[in-house]
Amino acid sequence: MWEAVIGLEIHAQLATRSKIFSGASTAYGAEPNTQACAVDLGLPGVLPVLNKEAVRMAAMFGLAIGANVSRRSVFARKNYFYPDLPKGYQISQFELPIVESGQLDIELGDGSTKTIGVTRAHLEEDAGKSLHEDFQGMTGVDLNRAGTPLLEIVSEPDMRSAKEAVAYMKKIHALVTSLEICDGNMQEGSFRCDANVSVRPKGQEELGTRAELKNINSFRFVERAINIEITRQIDIIESGGKVVQETRLYDSDKNETRSMRSKEEANDYRYFPDPDLLPVEITDEFLKDLKKNLPELPQEKKARFIEQYELKPEDAGVLTASPAHARYYEVLVEASGGEARLAANWVVGTLAAMLNKENRDIANSRVSAGELGLLLNKITDNTISGKIAKEVFEAMWAGEGSADDVIESRGLRQITDSSEIEKIIDDIIAANPEQVEQFRAGKEKVLGFFVGQVMKASSGKANPGQVNQLLRKKLSA
Ligand code: ADP
Ligand code: MG
């Protein structure tokens, strides 16, 4: 009966070396307040100077989503008071953002695609950070983050489920990391999102009242938070109440959303153009040049993978989800001697499962693409079967050494000597006269039973192809 409507505001930290309006470093993890200069501290008498690199990165993003990159954009002051905002205002863009009207396709579960509109993307500075934990009865303020360049990417309310929202967020993540304009590190807060959620009766045109879920920094939490919020809103309406427009916080420990402030308490930011900064003007030439040097985009890479490596679209999608995935895969294909399909199955299957279990990034895989390539070689040259390869892989993952080391030390080399296989087969046939009768009477399925027995007797080491062939021969004899 109900339809959910979702729009996301994603904050991507731009990967510049210095801040958006000062020369202070943006490196993560420094001692508090060691990377905040006079400009970031908001001391009187200083003037901001725009970092051209941030503009270049924002423009690249605009080009990559087919948006209008504004030839003229304007920085505005967003006024509010908070201890981590010493100037009393955040420099952002309001009426004239640098990027407007783009779009991005996401793939849905059924294999179809859906276009999500990107309303705008604007440049702004990040605020500092209040530290509540280390000081009893006091709050610390760390201004290292103040002035860090952000690109706020605002979507149209085009998503209809938590799954779609996550698919969109992953797409944006893949895009900004491929463009190398954001490191995408969600733990460090380089990529985070506010989710706006409302519900309406199916078929109704008008949007329902929305709640905004603030600052969610993992794909899993975004999905959970949105689903909880949808349920909460439907419950309210069905029990006769009204959803109020408010900002809510998602608590991942309790798996619930909580009210932070209502619309009535919302700030009036009194935006006005920042008199310290000139409007940003971008020339056609600058854009033409950027366009020419745009790296391969995830969408293009996916199309190339499907074509060049003959992959299924779903697999190609997974393998181009991040530059690190694509890099791993392409190195693996090379190292495995061009076994593109086998390599794809391994990355999407066994490797992904291991990474997932440890919540580990592919860039930090315990088995490198080169090492895995050597393992795949052992399958293609028949040293081991695909099944045994999984065992070898797990041992490699656990640090037992290279594929060769594990195969030797565990004695996993495949049995390809037909006389040895024949001996096992003879024993199995002798021990199962009833099943032999059945096979000879035309019950083909029994062959599977015999294959299973032989493989078991050889601890999985007999070459499956040979086993099949020899079994048929002997059973029909
Ligand atoms: P604000 O500036 O108050 O955050 P915006 O109008 O800029 O509000 O919208 C912010 C985000 O909220 C956008 O991504 C937009 O798509 C989304 N949004 C707006 N209205 C709704 C709604 N009724 N339901 C869900 N999302 C919405
Ligand atoms: Mg908002």
The reply to whether ligand 1 has any atom less than 6 angstroms from the CB of 6 is yes
The pLDDT of residue 463 is 85
Q: Which of 196, 226, 260 to mutate to test the pocket of ligand 1 (most atoms within 8 A of CB)?
A: 196
Phi, then psi, of 102 in degrees rounded to 5: -115, -175
Q: Which of 78, 154, 168, 269 to mutate to test the pocket of ligand 1 (most atoms within 8 A of CB)?
A: 154
The reply to whether ligand 1 has any atom less than 6 angstroms from the CB of 198 is yes
Closest CA to 50 of 69, 72, 75: 75
Provide the token pair at 428: 């199995």
Q: How far is CA 362 from the centre of its chain?
A: 11
The reply to whether ligand 1 has any atom less than 6 angstroms from the CB of 196 is yes
- Residues 99 and 238: their CA atoms lie apart, in Å, by 40
The reply to whether ligand 1 has any atom less than 6 angstroms from the CB of 210 is yes
Q: Digits of tens for pLDDT over the chain (477 positions)?
A: 999 999 999 999 999 999 999 999 999 999 999 999 999 999 999 999 999 999 999 999 999 999 999 999 999 999 999 999 999 999 999 999 999 999 999 988 887 899 999 999 999 999 999 998 888 889 999 999 999 999 999 999 999 999 999 999 999 999 999 999 999 999 899 999 999 999 999 999 999 999 999 989 899 999 999 999 999 999 999 999 999 999 999 998 898 899 988 776 667 899 999 999 999 999 999 999 999 999 999 989 999 999 999 999 989 999 998 899 999 999 999 999 999 999 999 999 999 999 999 988 899 999 999 999 999 999 998 888 898 999 999 999 999 999 999 999 998 888 888 888 899 999 999 999 898 989 888 888 889 999 999 988 888 888 888 899 899 888 887
The pLDDT of residue 65 is 97
The reply to whether ligand 1 has any atom less than 6 angstroms from the CB of 266 is no
Question: What pTM was estimated for this model as a whole?
Answer: 0.83
- Cβ neighbours of residue 376 closer than 8 Å, sequence gap 6 or more: 332, 335, 336, 339, 342, 343, 346, 389
The pLDDT of residue 262 is 78
DSSP string covering 259-326: EEEEGGG------EE-TTSPPEE--HHHHHHHHHTPPPPHHHHHHHHHHHS---HHHHHHHTSSHHHH
CB 160 within 8 A of CB 5: yes
The pLDDT of residue 264 is 67
Residue 62 Cα to ligand 1 midpoint, Å, equals: 20
Ligand showing the shortest atom-to-Cα distance for residue 8:
1
Residue 424 Cα to ligand 2 midpoint, Å, equals: 70
How many Cα atoms within 13 Å fall on the side-chain side of residue 56? Answer: 14
Provide the token pair at 182: 């954001």
